[in-house]
A and B are shown apart, each in its own frame.
Chain A
Amino acid sequence: MSLLEKFEPLSSIREDLNAHGMMPFGVVTEKILSPTEGMVDGKRTILAGTNNYLGLTFAPECVAAAQQATADEGTGTTGSRMANGTYSGHRALEQELAQFFGRESAMVFTTGFLATMGMVATLTGPGDVLLIDGDSHASIYDGCKLSGADIVRFRHNDLADLEKRLRRLGERTANTLIVSEGLYSMMGDQAPLAGIVELKRKYGGYLLLDEAHSVGVLGAHGRGLAEAAGVEDEVDFVVGTFSKSLGSVGGFCVSSRPELELIRMAARAYIFTASPTPSVVASTRAALRLVAAHPELREKLWRNATRLYDGLAKIGYQLGPQAGPVVAVFVDDREQAIAGWHQLLAAGVYVNLVLPPATPTGASLLRCSLSAAHTDEQIDKILEAFAGLPVAAGVPAPSQARSQNV
């Protein structure tokens, strides 16, 4: 096979997807009207697949901060954090993140993907063990590849399997990093963190928790699942992103381990890339203040999430195992999922189409994500659009997906 032939299968997949006249992946939002509305294919569309959990992308404080920073400090830093790319704003953001999470220190990365991949790859090396949840995000898997450590998977959210793996590692647990996610981005379910922490206490090891989808979403103060589960002291490293509840782009790691400051000098994903732009740093700082000051945003988000989850369940859809800001609607048949996605869009509702192998099980998903900025009327319109799908009449069909994930 020549170099480029391996892409051939993708071309038939793309043809399938294009059959309905529009490619579901990489949809163009022609005009963005608000955190929850945009123009898609010339039509006003409710955005229900944006991960814009708190709806802060248009918060006046964040927009003003970004504008001011651009005016004051320019459009980009043009350099790495290790060279010329550390401005006082970057340091201030790190201090504020550390303070927000009640940790000793924080590192800011240019994207969430780089933060997770970089921390996983840097914390472990040849001879160490990465013990990761089977449904881990691509950034975790890529970090594993780069680390050179032994990679051991435990079944998704399965404490018995995790315990078996830890027990078998014996003394090697001293060199083991357990990796889990606060809220899983595709199914919307949460890690059994208290149980994971208990096993870590019993067998040893370190714990890295990816709170990309749970910061600002879970916990009384929005510090994520570790706060909600009351086990923050036992989570050695928390990584996360600015591109969801904080409404910008970028990533971070917080920890009270003094070694975090040394990792700054070792993490290639931190060193060999340009630092976040001043506007991103400024809007993220403003958003972090809003998250801390407005717990009612979180309450609204959860009200919205529950409204959608309950409504879809009532229609008869098979959903992810747990209500939350990510609501995964299972569609057994891939073609039905693709057709359903197009019908939702025609009805003025954008959700994410997720097909295997990007889904953890064989099922296809119409994945919704909620925002605190959604109105009740918008959620009812989303429900109406889902109720109108032909597949709604046929569901629930028995699927292996649910039983594997509960």
Chain B
Amino acid sequence: MGSYQESVTLIYEALEPFLQPGLVLSEDSALVSDLGLSSLQVMELVAEVEDRLDITVPLNVLPDVRSIRQFAELLSRLTGDAT
């Protein structure tokens, strides 16, 4: 539960509705500058991930998250705490 790899997979799934077709994802993709998410879409993505994992991602930790990797690391940390 809450491994880094599981988090990455989950983020890929949750990201799908937000992405332009044809974009190639990698763990280093930045949510805003590479994938073109607006700040509102980032919040929607976070809410989607929160619901899937039934956790809370505090707003104050989000400024440190730019890439999928950083988001996945944060999630595995948060779910690790919870279990």
Closest to A170 in B: B82
> Are B54 and A150 in touch, CB under 8 angstroms?
no
> In the complex, A255 Cα to B61 Cα: how many Å?
31
B58 an interface residue at 8 Å Cβ cutoff?
A: yes
Kindly identify which residue among A144, A145, A149, A169 contacts B56, using a CB–CB cutoff of 8 Å. Answer: A169
Contacts of B54 in A (CB 8 A): 168
> Are A165 and B56 in touch, CB under 8 angstroms?
yes
Contacts of B59 in A (CB 8 A): 144, 151-153
Contacts of B55 in A (CB 8 A): 168
> In the complex, A138 Cα to B58 Cα: how many Å?
18
B33 an interface residue at 8 Å Cβ cutoff?
A: no
Contacts of A152 in B (CB 8 A): 56, 58-59
How far does the Cβ of A212 sit from chain B's closest Cβ, in whole Å? 23
How far does the Cβ of A378 sit from chain B's closest Cβ, in whole Å? 39
Chain A interface extent, by class: 10 to 19
Closest to A147 in B: B60
Contacts of B61 in A (CB 8 A): 150
Kindly name the residue among B54, B56, B60, B61 whose own CB sees the greatest number of chain A CB atoms within 10 A: B56
> In the complex, A152 Cα to B54 Cα: how many Å?
14
Contacts of A151 in B (CB 8 A): 58-60
How far does the Cβ of B15 sit from chain A's closest Cβ, in whole Å? 21
How far does the Cβ of B57 sit from chain A's closest Cβ, in whole Å? 8
How far does the Cβ of A339 sit from chain B's closest Cβ, in whole Å? 27
How far does the Cβ of A133 sit from chain B's closest Cβ, in whole Å? 13
> In the complex, A153 Cα to B60 Cα: how many Å?
11
Contacts of B60 in A (CB 8 A): 144-145, 149-151
Interface string of A56-71 (1 = CB under 8 A from B): 0000000000000000
> In the complex, A144 Cα to B60 Cα: how many Å?
9
> In the complex, A73 Cα to B35 Cα: how many Å?
62
Interface string of B44-69 (1 = CB under 8 A from A): 00000010001110111100000000
Interfacial residues of chain A within 163-188, with CB under 8 A of chain B in the complex: 165, 168-169
How far does the Cβ of B17 sit from chain A's closest Cβ, in whole Å? 18
How far does the Cβ of B25 sit from chain A's closest Cβ, in whole Å? 27
> In the complex, A394 Cα to B56 Cα: how many Å?
42
Kindly name the residue among B54, B60, B61 whose own CB sees the greatest number of chain A CB atoms within 10 A: B60
> In the complex, A165 Cα to B59 Cα: how many Å?
13
How far does the Cβ of A158 sit from chain B's closest Cβ, in whole Å? 12
> In the complex, A45 Cα to B48 Cα: how many Å?
49
> In the complex, A168 Cα to B54 Cα: how many Å?
7
Contacts of A168 in B (CB 8 A): 50, 54-56
Interface string of A201-244 (1 = CB under 8 A from B): 00000000000000000000000000000000000000000000
> In the complex, A145 Cα to B58 Cα: how many Å?
12
> In the complex, A151 Cα to B56 Cα: how many Å?
10
How far does the Cβ of B66 sit from chain A's closest Cβ, in whole Å? 17
Closest to A141 in B: B59
Contacts of A144 in B (CB 8 A): 59-60
> In the complex, A301 Cα to B59 Cα: how many Å?
38
> In the complex, A152 Cα to B61 Cα: how many Å?
10
> In the complex, A151 Cα to B58 Cα: how many Å?
5
> In the complex, A377 Cα to B48 Cα: how many Å?
51
Contacts of A150 in B (CB 8 A): 58, 60-61
Interface string of A108-149 (1 = CB under 8 A from B): 000000000000000000000100000000000000110001
Closest 5 CB pairs of A and B: A150-B58, A151-B59, A168-B56, A151-B60, A152-B56
Given contacts A151-B60, A152-B58, list 10 more A-B pairs with CB under 8 A. Answer: A129-B58, A144-B60, A149-B60, A150-B60, A150-B61, A151-B58, A151-B59, A152-B56, A165-B56, A168-B50
Q: Which residues on B are within 8 Å of A, measured CB to CB?
A: 50, 54-56, 58-61
17 contacts between A and B (CB under 8 A): A129-B58, A144-B60, A145-B60, A149-B60, A150-B58, A150-B60, A150-B61, A151-B58, A151-B59, A151-B60, A152-B59, A153-B59, A168-B50, A168-B54, A168-B55, A168-B56, A169-B56
